[in-house]
Structure 1
Amino acid sequence: MTETVASDRTGRADATRLIQRGAVEWVIAALLALLLLRLLWSLMRNENLLPGAVVGYLLHPDVLAGVWLTIRLTVLVFAAAWAIGLVATWMERSGNPVLGGIAAAYVWVFGSIPVLVQLLLWSNIALIFPDITFGIPGVHIDAVRLVTPVYAAIAGLALATGAYAAKALPGGDRLTALGDLLVTTLQVTSLVSVLSITDLLGVVRALEERNHLIIPLLVVAAIWYLVLVTAARGAIRLARLARVTG
């Protein structure tokens, strides 16, 4: 009898704690929702954002061209990085100490140096190797003409994200790794603007210099990146759902 009464009291105490915790969570949720609404209202009424300019530039031809270049860069770099990651993973798992050592060194170097630094190094590779010969007699490649900003960007991003792919592939869900790599690639393409490439951010920066609408144009870039990343994640979710239902 005593044990039954104690059990009932414990159950009521647990239920009371759950109710109290639920009430506290709802209060916190309400406060956060009010703060968010207040922030959104302030943004909508903030004249410095120039919402008219934001709307006007969302579908500006230059901005759309930058979006298209960003998409193409993402696809090219993503495919190259995935291939590099697969090769590096195979080398690590081959059991050959030389191949494994090379793969580990690649992941260590290109996975440690910041992507921006790698892009700058590749864009200036002609200062180190002005004439690329690969040690083959009669082969002379002019690096100044060959390594354009776009090629430097593709090489730098592919090698950097390839190291990320090599670390993400072993022992995990490949579809999840694929999605993470796609989103990461899309985000890091914004760095190519430092090479004067007219991707989405590059176009926005060029427009800023002409009309000085810094905040509205940055908002335009942010909106487009939200759209692109959301679309990429949505595509991966659909692929995952298709795999489960299939």
Structure 2
Amino acid sequence: MSDPEDKAPTPAVSVTKESGGAGGRGPATTSAPVPPEAVKAIPVRHYGRWVSAVIVLAVLALLVSAFANAQISWSTVGDFFDHETIVVGALNTLWITVLSMLLGVVLGTVLAVMRLSKNPVMSSVAWGYIWIFRGTPVLVQLLLWYNLALIFPILDLGFYRDEMNDVMTPFLAALLGLGLNEAAYMAEISRAGIQSVDEGQTEAAHALGMTRGRTMRRIVLPQAMRVIIPPTGNEFINMLKTSSLAYAIQYGELLLSATKISSRNLAVMELLLVATIWYLLLTSVFSIGQYYLERHFQRGSTRSLPPTPWQRVKTSLGSFRTPSQVGGRTI
């Protein structure tokens, strides 16, 4: 009797079946293939990722240790974080940011339409405005508006007359300086959004008898919003930080409020850290809002929307589970 281990494995199994019919043929033989052996996948080891992660964590640990051991009174930071002057400064920062951004969006849209106009005067004026306000620093523009009384002592509009010093307050100077500068950038963003709409949309609207103004309001601008809105959110966050330049014209925003307190108690670094934390909180809140706003306007343009931060966290946590824990069965 032969040993079963001496036999060679058969590559296929023969199956015999009877073949009937008038032809009187004999039995037919077919071969059933054996399934291939499972492939054992060995993941590639990325040692560079681990080394770079260790280096980054070491640098972060050194920075945290340096600030923890620095001569900073962290109790002072906590005491003045919700101080009335700081809170009022933060609210003033939000207020001037919202108003300046609103002015910039409205005027920027008008400038974009003027820039795309076939009227050479309109397009030239819009181009000149954008060239001037994009070509000069925001701080210089703020100082120009604030010191406008040096060259125009009296504001005379015919129906209104007053001294320029009484009219051009720090708030108005900050609003004009920030808002008019933002309008130049929003004009280019709006122009890019308008040009992203297919010209066939405009031609079809004109074929239906719609005027140029109605076509812009009803057809072009609603479709251009998908391109305009995301960078506008980014500009709002940038405006929130740029508003700190109003410190130079004595507008009571967050940085000026922190500086006034530090000039009395000499806790300069502590109050600057308070202002820094407030700016981080405000920009973080609006960054989350910008993310969901962009996600909302991406509906219809992509087949699948990008995952939300909470979905990314759940996906990352799920990747650490063992195979037997996923779905209650081994994968």
* Matched residue type, 2:276: A
Whole-angstrom distance in 1 between the partners of 2:274 and 2:44: 44
Alignment counterpart, residue 123 of structure 2, candidates 100, 105, 119: 100
Deviation at residue 148 of structure 1 after TM alignment: 0.8
Deviation at residue 183 of structure 1 after TM alignment: 1.0
Deviation at residue 177 of structure 1 after TM alignment: 1.8
Are the structure 2 counterparts of residues 44 and 110 from structure 1 closer, same or farther at C-alpha, using a change threshold of 3 Å?
Answer: same
Does the 8 Å CA contact 1:129/1:143 hold for their aligned counterparts? yes
Higher relative contact order (CA 8 A, sep 6+): 1
Percent identity at matched positions?
A: 30
Whole-angstrom distance in 2 between the partners of 1:240 and 1:32: 31
* Structure (1 or 2) with the greater helix fraction: 1
Matched, 1:226 2:249: no
Q: 2:19 corresponds to which residue?
A: none
Deviation at residue 230 of structure 1 after TM alignment: 1.1
C-alpha root-mean-square deviation of aligned residues, in Å?
2.0
* Matched residue type, 2:264: R
Deviation at residue 245 of structure 1 after TM alignment: 5.1
Deviation at residue 139 of structure 1 after TM alignment: 4.9
Whole-angstrom distance in 2 between the partners of 1:19 and 1:206: 58
Deviation at residue 33 of structure 1 after TM alignment: 1.1
Does the 8 Å CA contact 1:169/1:177 hold for their aligned counterparts? no
Q: TM-score, normalised by structure 2?
A: 0.65
Deviation at residue 44 of structure 1 after TM alignment: 1.9
Q: 1:175 corresponds to which residue?
A: 229
Deviation at residue 45 of structure 1 after TM alignment: 2.5
Alignment counterpart, residue 252 of structure 2, candidates 187, 198, 206: 198
Question: What residue ranges of structure 1 are gaps of 5+ in the alignment?
Answer: 1-15
Deviation at residue 26 of structure 1 after TM alignment: 2.1
Deviation digits for residues 43-65 of structure 1 (CA, Å, limit 9, x no counterpart): 1232x221111111111111001
Whole-angstrom distance in 2 between the partners of 1:158 and 1:243: 25
Whole-angstrom distance in 1 between the partners of 2:297 and 2:118: 32
1:40-51 paired onto structure 2 within 5 Å:
40-46=64-70, 48-51=71-74
Does the 8 Å CA contact 1:116/1:191 hold for their aligned counterparts? yes
Deviation at residue 132 of structure 1 after TM alignment: 2.6
1:115-154 paired onto structure 2 within 5 Å:
115-134=138-157, 136=158, 139-154=160-175
Q: 1:64 corresponds to which residue?
A: 87
Alignment counterpart, residue 132 of structure 2, candidates 84, 88, 109: 109
Deviation at residue 175 of structure 1 after TM alignment: 1.5
Deviation at residue 178 of structure 1 after TM alignment: 1.1
Whole-angstrom distance in 1 between the partners of 2:191 and 2:234: 14
Question: What residue ranges of structure 2 are gaps of 5+ in the alignment?
Answer: 1-41, 194-226, 301-331
Whole-angstrom distance in 2 between the partners of 1:63 and 1:91: 41
Does the 8 Å CA contact 2:234/2:290 hold for their aligned counterparts? no
Runs of 4+ with >6 A deviation: none
* Matched residue type, 1:207: I
